[in-house]
A = this chain, B = another copy of it.
Amino acid sequence: MDNTNDFVKDITNIEEDFAKWYTDIVLKAELADYTDTKGCISIRPYGYAIWENIQKYADNKFKETGIENIYFPVLIPESLLQKEKDHVEGFAPEVAWVTEAGEEKLDERLCIRPTSETIISTMYSKWLSSWRDLPFLYNQWCNVLRWEKETRPFLRSREFLWQEGHTIHETEEEAIDRTLKMLDIYAGIAENLLAIPVIKGIKTESEKFAGAVSTYTIESMMHDGRALQSATSHYFGQNFSKPFDIKFQDREGNQQYAYQTSWGLSTRLIGGLIMAHGDNRGLKLPPKVAPIQVIIVPIAQHKEGVLEKVYNLNEKLSSKYRVKVDDRDKYSPGYKFNYWEMKGVPIRIEIGPRDIENNECILVRRDNAEKITVKLEKIDKIIGETLEDIHNSMFNDCKKRMEEKTTIAYNIDEFKENMDTNQGFIKAMWCGKEECENKIRELTGAKSRCMPFNQEKISNKCVCCGEPAEKMVIWARQY
Contact = CB atoms under 8 A, between A and B. Distances in A.
Contact of A71 (B43, B71, B147): B43
A162 to B, nearest CB: 12
Count identical subunits in the complex.
Answer: 2
Contact of A36 (B42, B102, B119): B119
A101 B147 contact: yes
Interface residues of A, number: 54
Which of A48, A51, A95 counts the most chain B CB atoms within 10 A? Answer: A48
Nearest to A100: B97
A84 to B, nearest CB: 15
Nearest to A145: B74
Contacts of A94: 102
B103 A73 contact: no
Interface in A98-144: 98-103, 109-110, 112, 119, 122-123, 126-127, 132, 138, 142-143
B80 A36 contact: yes
Nearest to A137: B45
A330 B132 contact: yes
B69 A52 contact: yes
A75 interface: yes
A75 B138 contact: no
A110 B37 contact: yes
Contacts of A49: 68-69
Interface string A35-69: 11100111111001101100000000000000011
Contact of A48 (B35, B43, B70): B70
A180 interface: no
Which of A70, A109, A149, A330 counts the most chain B CB atoms within 10 A? Answer: A70
Given A40-B75, A96-B110, 17 more contacts: A33-B123, A35-B73, A35-B122, A36-B80, A36-B122, A43-B71, A45-B70, A48-B68, A49-B68, A52-B69, A74-B143, A74-B145, A96-B98, A96-B101, A96-B102, A98-B112, A99-B99
